[in-house]
Amino acid sequence: NAGVTQTPKFRILKIGQSMTLQCAQDMNHNYMYWYRQDPGMGLKLIYYSVGAGITDKGEVPNGYNVSRSTTEDFPLRLELAAPSQTSVYFCASGFLSGTVFSNEQFFGPGTRLTVL
Amino acid sequence: GQQVMQIPQYQHVQEGEDFTTYCNSSTTLSNIQWYKQRPGGHPVFLIQLVKSGEVKKQKRLTFQFGEAKKNSSLHITATQTTDVGTYFCVYYGGSQGNLIFGKGTKLSVKP
């Protein structure tokens, strides 16, 4: 299993440009998440999905959009990039067993994004 | 909403010294998890604690969950250079299963 994969690893954008961060998992997890991590901080939730076709906002959704057309893929779209979106973006997945979430979430390697 | 505070923010130790990081919440937590993030890496799950007063050990790492389920600690005995990284206490924030991260304790180990 590859686990959670993310592309690209690094990207530099100009203000106002758009891009899509790709995330895929091969563990058949129903839950997927996008977090951002600013320097010296913990992770904050941007968007999440509980299954294909279902997405919802997290703590910091402004400036982002997501879609979930398949169980495996959960891309994050940045429209009109701004310097405040300079961050490291992590995708993660997990599953629900009965009514209890699995012990751990599995994180991808991250995408380092700089907006200039 | 709920927040977890971690102390210290930074810790520099000599290799072989012990290290402890503490996590405190103003409200009762249903669970607490610990993740480690190496420099330039991604968070990796270490352990989950769910019971009041729970203590778990992983080799040189000892994890505790307070009796009131409002605090937790991670203790590393005889640190090694491989222990370098940021340690986060984390808990499930809601019904959607997302994680709420503390700010972490960054550990550096001098050989």
Out of B88, B97, B102, name the one closest to residue A101 (CB).
B97
Provide the CA A3 distance to its chain's centre, in angstroms: 14
Residues 6+ apart with CB under 8 A from B65: B32, B49, B50, B51, B52, B53, B54, B55, B71, B72
- Shortest Cα–Cα distance, B94 to chain A (Å): 11
| Cβ contact A48–B96 (<8 Å) | yes
Phi, psi angle pair for B107, to nearest 5°: -105, 125
Q: Specify the pLDDT at position A2.
A: 84
As a whole number, mean pLDDT of residues B75-101 equals 88
* CA–CA min distance A27, chain B (Å): 16
Altogether, the residues listed in chain A come to a count of 116
**Chain A hits for B92, Cβ within 8 Å:** 101
Determine if residue A103 is left, alpha or beta; phi over 0 gives left, psi from -120 to 50 gives alpha, anything else beta.
alpha
Q: Do B97 and A94 touch (CB under 8 A)?
A: yes
Question: What mean pLDDT is predicted for residues A19-38?
Answer: 95
Interface of B with A in 58-97 (CB under 8 A): 88, 90, 92-93, 96-97
Query: When comparing pLDDT for B23 and A104, which is higher?
Result: B23
Beta-carbon neighbour count of residue A4 at 10 Å? 23
Chain A closest-CA separation from residue B80 CA (Å): 22
Cα nearest neighbour of A108 on chain B: B42
pLDDT at B37 over 90: yes
Joined together, the tokens standing for residue B14 give 């000599």
Q: Which two tokens stand for residue B51?
A: 């019971």
Distance CA A81, CA A71 (A): 27
Structural tokens at position A19: 């891009």
Q: For A41, which of B42, B93, B103 is closest by C-beta distance? A: B103
* Residues of A whose CB is below 8 A from B88: 42-43
pLDDT at position B100 over 90? no
Alpha carbon distance A86, A111 (integer Å): 10
Q: CB of B59 within 8 A of CB of A13?
A: no
Bridge partners, residue A84, by sequence: none
Q: What is the mean pLDDT of residues A6-24?
A: 97
Can you give the pLDDT at residue B59?
A: 96
- Contact predicate A26/A72, CB 8 Å: yes
Mean per-residue pLDDT, A62-87: 96
CA-CA distance, A89 to A101, in Å (whole number)? 22
- The H-assigned helical ranges of B1-111 are none
B22 lies within 8 A of chain A by CB: no
- A43 and B41: CB-CB below 8 Å? no
Instruction: Report residue B72 CA to chain centroid gap.
Output: 7
Higher pLDDT, A69 or B98: A69
Q: Between the CA of residue B14 and those of B8, B17, B54, B69, B109, what are the distances in Å?
A: 16, 6, 29, 31, 6
| Statement: residue B2 has pLDDT above 60 | no
